[in-house]
């Protein structure tokens, strides 16, 4: 793992890949129903032409290029092109409303915008009217833009054409820029999704991304032969590592789905060998499989349940290479032939060598389901400030309840307050224009605070329980870790989201969001008619199911030494889904506790008042930005806590 002679910037990596893997595929995109392919040599030509075109338009060293759009080859090329000119790409969450994007563009002082399509161009134009600093808006897909005023707007193809002309006149145009760039230079600014307050711009150096990518690729023996589906938001550090950093570092091929709604199908067609998805995706996939199995014929159902039992018993051990009885191996083989392989094929997981999940806790049943099928899914723990990797599970040391030992090159410690801290080659340079926040995040002796509470277990694996600042105390002085409880609740398929309260209270209470797909399917099956989420959520049977799940969580908690007082004694099912458009959760689906506390204060009071129901009206924002109000009469249920049990579950 020597880093001395390795390329230390993305343009240099591109040159190396174009030489070393010239004819190997670098990017694929499905367009008009057919996968189009670009080799590394072609990508070099595209990137350099676009970079030269940008230079013609006045893009200079240190300028920021905001990238707003889905995972399109040209969006990725735009990022590299900016880096060629020693500028800094700033990818932005494309789903964000114009006001949110404006904050980021203003804060980053973006001069150029690369927008995917009309939707994003509309937002960019709206923003540009307020931010005179935006000189150009370049678009990839020109559909619907024919009648737009062209003063700031230009077509990607046009910029590329001008770049090609410039390069034809002066082939060495970009060489000096590329040679001058260093690994320690700022390479990219990634804005955090802003769980607390305004988003912060995390400035990562080229080294941060490239060395981390290289280390993590070595950890899992990733090669130029991997196939990856690039479907994660480009503004998220994960995509910057999995689809960009690691792809450049190892030379593997990324595949851009046709659009958001075809991801599942494209996954099946590509059959990635290396895959990342947040736990929610694995969860939804499993729910989908289970729902479809319930509709299957009797023989198939029996086969599925029989062989899944075999898989649960021996699958993980067989994958680990641990000893298993010969007969069990034979049965597993047969199961693979009849059930596991076809199932993996439908999910698009036939070729997966390594899969990771992170971001939230994953339910042990879900996690073990995939491992039992022979899918090597593992957990990692990371954050933007550390270029993702803090801990990751090596093959053979995979557990559902931990996030693994420290990743290669990373040191991790837990301080006296229980906070997890780390130092690594991925540690960010600073927060963009926010020295105070940078000082707050880095300790005096060079470690980064994660803000997460956790501890190392006996195996040396890190276990994360909650955010340090969210860990509170009940009035009797016992520990209250809301996220730990919420995760336990969310493991039930019909509960999508949960928010628990308990800090400074006598007991724990919860808001529940049901999963409209799972509960809706149940309703359909049982002939329960409903017209809306609200109606389904208020149904007596829904309350009964949720109540039973909470009972089960309470039984588990009763056995927990530290947390037995955290049993949930009161709950209600919210009348609307918590929504990022209403600011209740972040775009990455993390609960914004303070917003919810402010917005639903009267409901929280009702939970602790002993009332049986409460009438509320709530303002909602629709997807097109309009606002409305929904009213509901919410029921509140009370549960009796279980007596603490001494033994471990």
Partner 1 sequence: MNALPDSAAPLLEAKDISLSFGGVSALTGVDCDIREGEIRAIIGPNGAGKSSMLNVINGFYHPQKGEVWFRGEKRGKLKPFQIARQGIARTFQNIALFKGMSTLDNIMTGRITRMRAGLLWQALWHGPALREELEHREAAERIIDFLEIQSIRKTPVGRLPYGLQKRVELGRALAAESKLLLLDEPMAGMNLEEKEDMCRFILDAGAQFGATIALIEHDMGVVMDLADRVMVLDYGRKIADGAPDEIRNDQLVIDAYLGAAVQE
Which range in 144-152, 276-284, 302-310, 481-489 contacts partner 1 by CB under 8 A?
A: 144-152
Interface residues for partner 1 in 331-360 (CB under 8 A)?
none
How far apart (Å, rounded) are the C-alpha atoms in residues 492 and 432?
Answer: 40
Looking at the Cβ atoms of 45 and 535, the one nearer to partner 1 is 535
Q: Could you count the other beta carbons within 10 Å of the beta carbon of residue 609?
A: 12
- Starting at the edge strand that comes first in sequence, how are the strands of the sheet with 34-39 ordered? 34-39, 25-31, 253-256, 227-229
Query: Interaction with partner 1 in 11-40: which residues (CB under 8 A)?
Result: 31-33
Give the residue with the Cβ less far from partner 1, 260 or 294: 260
Q: Which of 122, 155, 258, 503 binds partner 1 (CB under 8 A)?
A: 258
Min dist CB 619 to partner 1, Å, is 18
At closest approach, how far in Å is the CB of 263 from partner 1?
9
Minimum distance, C-beta of residue 576 to partner 1, in the bound complex (Å): 17
Cα-to-chain-centroid distance, residue 166 = 39
Q: Given the rule CB under 8 A, which of 260-268, 335-343, 416-424, 456-464 is the region that contacts partner 1?
A: 260-268
| Cβ nearer to partner 1, comparing 147 with 445 | 147
Kindly state whether residue 143 participates in binding partner 1, applying the rule CB under 8 A: yes
| Residue among 24 and 268 whose Cβ is closer to partner 1 | 268
Minimum distance between the CB of residue 99 and partner 1, rounded to whole angstroms?
A: 21
Contact flag: residue 150 with partner 1 (CB under 8 A): no
Cβ-contact 429, 435 below 8 angstroms: no
Map residue 337 onto helix, strand or coil: helix
Nearer to partner 1, 23 or 147 (CB): 147
Kindly tell me which of 394 and 625 has the beta carbon lying closer to partner 1: 625
Q: Which of 5, 146, 150, 640 binds partner 1 (CB under 8 A)?
A: 146
Shortest distance, CB of residue 348 to partner 1, whole angstroms?
A: 14
In three-state secondary structure terms, 617 is strand
Q: Strand pairing partners for 310?
A: none
Buried b (16+ CB within 10 A) or exposed e, 248-285: bbbbbbbbbbbeeeebbebbeebbbbbbbbbbbbbbbb
Out of 262, 345, 594, 638, name the contact with partner 1 by CB under 8 A. 262
Percent of residues in the chain assigned helix, strand, coil, to nearest 5: 40, 25, 35
Is the CB of 476 or the CB of 624 nearer to partner 1?
624
Give the nearest distance from C-beta 129 to partner 1 in angstroms.
Answer: 22
144 binds partner 1 per the rule CB under 8 A? yes
Q: How far is the CB of 491 from partner 1 (least distance, A)?
A: 29
The count of chain residues that interact with partner 1, using the rule CB under 8 A, is 14
Q: How many other CB atoms sit within 10 Å of the CB of residue 25?
A: 20
Q: Which stretch binds partner 1 (CB under 8 A): 159-167, 256-264, 343-351, 393-401?
A: 256-264
**Which candidate, 365, 352, 361, 353, places its Cα nearest to that of 379?**
361
- The DSSP code for 643 is P
Output the smallest distance, CB 261 to partner 1, in A.
4
What DSSP designation does 442 have? Answer: B
Q: Closest CB to partner 1 among 5 and 143?
A: 143
Instruction: Indicate the residue among 150 and 298 with the shorter CB distance to partner 1.
Output: 150
Tokens linked to 64:
């920021």
Q: Which is nearer to partner 1, 452 or 577 (CB)?
A: 577
**Residue 621 Cβ vs partner 1, minimum distance, rounded to whole Å:** 14
H helical segments located in 235-297: 237-239, 246-250, 263-270, 279-295
Q: Does 594 bind partner 1 (CB under 8 A)?
A: no
Helix (H) or strand (E) holding 34: strand 34-39
Answer for the pair 526, 495: CB distance below 8 angstroms, yes or no. Answer: no
Nearer to partner 1, 364 or 625 (CB): 625
147 binds partner 1 (CB under 8 A): yes
- 148-156, 182-190, 257-265, 430-438 -> range binding partner 1 (CB under 8 A): 257-265
The stretch near partner 1 (CB under 8 A) out of 82-90, 194-202, 255-263, 452-460 is 255-263
Please provide the DSSP assignment of 502-557 as one string. Answer: -TTSSSEEEEEEE-HHHHHHHHHHTT---SSHHHHHH-HHHHHHHHHHHHHHHHHH
Contact range with partner 1 by CB under 8 A, out of 11-19, 143-151, 162-170, 422-430: 143-151
Contacts of 151 (CB under 8 A, 6+ apart): none
Please report which residue ranges of 321-461 form alpha helices under DSSP H: 326-335, 341-347, 364-372, 435-441
Q: Counting contacts by CB under 8 A, is residue 259 touching partner 1? A: yes
Q: What is the residue whose two structure tokens read 């090597």?
A: 376
Dist CA 327 CA 340 (whole Å): 18
CB of 144 to partner 1, least distance (A): 6
Angle between helices 540-558 and 482-490 (to 10 degrees): 130
Binding string to partner 1 for residues 608 to 627, with x set by CB under 8 A, is what?
A: ---------------xx---
Q: Half-sphere exposure (CA, 13 Å, Cβ side) for 557?
A: 27
**Which two tokens mark 314?**
């021996």
Q: How far is the CB of 258 from partner 1 (least distance, A)?
A: 5
56 or 118, CB closer to partner 1? Answer: 118
Question: Of all helices (H) and strands (E), which one includes residue 479?
Answer: strand 479-480
Q: Which of 179, 180, 265, 341 binds partner 1 (CB under 8 A)?
A: 265
Q: How far is CA 452 from the centre of its chain?
A: 17
Contact residues: partner 1, CB under 8 A? 31-33, 143-144, 146-147, 258-259, 261-262, 265, 623-624
């Amino acid at each position: 793992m020597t880093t001395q002679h390795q390329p230390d910037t993305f343009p240099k990596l591109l040159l190396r890949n174009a030489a070393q893997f010239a004819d190997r595929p670098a990017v694929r995109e499905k367009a008009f129903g057919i996968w189009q392919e670009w080799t590394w040599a072609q990508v070099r030509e595209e990137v350099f032409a676009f970079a030269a075109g940008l230079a013609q338009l006045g893009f200079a060293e240190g300028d920021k290029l905001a990238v707003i759009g889905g995972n399109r080859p040209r969006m990725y090329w735009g990022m590299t092109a900016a880096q060629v000119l020693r500028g800094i790409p700033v990818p932005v969450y494309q789903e964000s409303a114009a006001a949110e994007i404006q904050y980021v563009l203003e804060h980053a002082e973006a001069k150029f915008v690369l927008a995917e399509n009309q939707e994003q161009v509309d937002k960019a134009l709206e923003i540009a009217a307020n931010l005179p600093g935006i000189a150009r808006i370049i678009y990839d897909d020109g559909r619907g833009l024919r009648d737009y005023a062209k003063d700031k707007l230009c077509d990607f193809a046009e910029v590329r054409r001008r770049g090609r002309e410039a390069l034809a006149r002066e082939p060495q145009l970009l060489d000096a820029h590329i040679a001058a760039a260093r690994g320690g230079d700022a390479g990219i600014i990634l804005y955090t999704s802003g769980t607390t307050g305004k988003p912060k711009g995390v400035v990562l150096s080229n080294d941060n991304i490239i060395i981390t990518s290289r280390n993590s690729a070595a950890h899992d023996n990733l090669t130029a032969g991997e196939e990856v589906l690039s479907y994660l938001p480009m503004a998220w550090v994960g995509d910057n590592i999995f689809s960009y950093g690691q792809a450049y570092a190892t030379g593997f091929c990324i595949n851009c789905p046709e659009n958001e709604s075809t991801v599942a199908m494209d996954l099946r067609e590509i059959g990635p060998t290396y895959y990342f998805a947040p736990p929610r995706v694995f969860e939804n996939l499993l729910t989908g499989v289970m729902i479809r199995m319930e509709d299957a014929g009797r023989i198939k159902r029996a086969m599925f349940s029989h062989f899944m039992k075999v898989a649960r018993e021996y699958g993980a051990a067989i994958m680990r290479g641990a000893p298993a009885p010969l007969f069990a191996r034979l049965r597993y083989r047969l199961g693979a032939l009849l059930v596991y392989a076809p199932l993996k094929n439908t999910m698009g997981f036939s070729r997966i060598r390594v899969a990771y999940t992170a971001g939230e806790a994953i339910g042990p049943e879900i996690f073990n389901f995939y491992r039992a099928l022979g899918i090597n899914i593992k957990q990692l723990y990371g954050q933007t400030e550390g270029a993702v990797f803090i801990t990751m599970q090596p093959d053979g040391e995979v557990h559902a309840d931990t996030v693994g030992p420290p990743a290669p090159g990373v040191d991790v410690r837990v301080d006296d307050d229980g906070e997890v801290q780390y130092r690594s080659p991925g540690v960010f340079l600073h927060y963009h224009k926010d020295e105070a926040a940078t000082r707050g995040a880095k300790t005096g002796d060079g470690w980064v605070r994660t803000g997460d509470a956790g501890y190392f277990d006996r195996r040396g694996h890190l276990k994360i329980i909650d955010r340090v600042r969210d860990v509170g105390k009940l009035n009797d002085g016992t520990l209250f870790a809301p996220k730990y409880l919420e995760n336990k609740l969310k493991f039930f398929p019909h509960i999508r989201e949960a928010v628990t309260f308990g800090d400074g209270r006598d007991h724990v209470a919860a808001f529940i969001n049901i999963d409209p797909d799972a509960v809706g399917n149940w309703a359909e099956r049982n002939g329960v008619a409903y017209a809306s989420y609200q109606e389904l959520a208020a149904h007596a049977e829904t309350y009964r199911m949720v109540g039973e799940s909470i009972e089960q969580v309470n039984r588990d908690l009763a056995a927990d030494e530290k947390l037995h007082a955290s049993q949930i004694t009161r709950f209600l099912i919210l009348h609307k889904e918590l929504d990022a458009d209403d600011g209740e959760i972040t775009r990455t689906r993390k609960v914004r506790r303070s917003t919810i506390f402010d917005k639903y204060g009267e409901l929280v009071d009702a939970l602790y008042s002993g009332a049986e129901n409460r009438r509320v009206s709530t303002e909602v924002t629709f997807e097109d930005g309009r606002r409305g109000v929904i009213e509901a009469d919410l029921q509140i249920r009370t549960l009796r806590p279980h007596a603490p049990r001494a033994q471990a579950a």
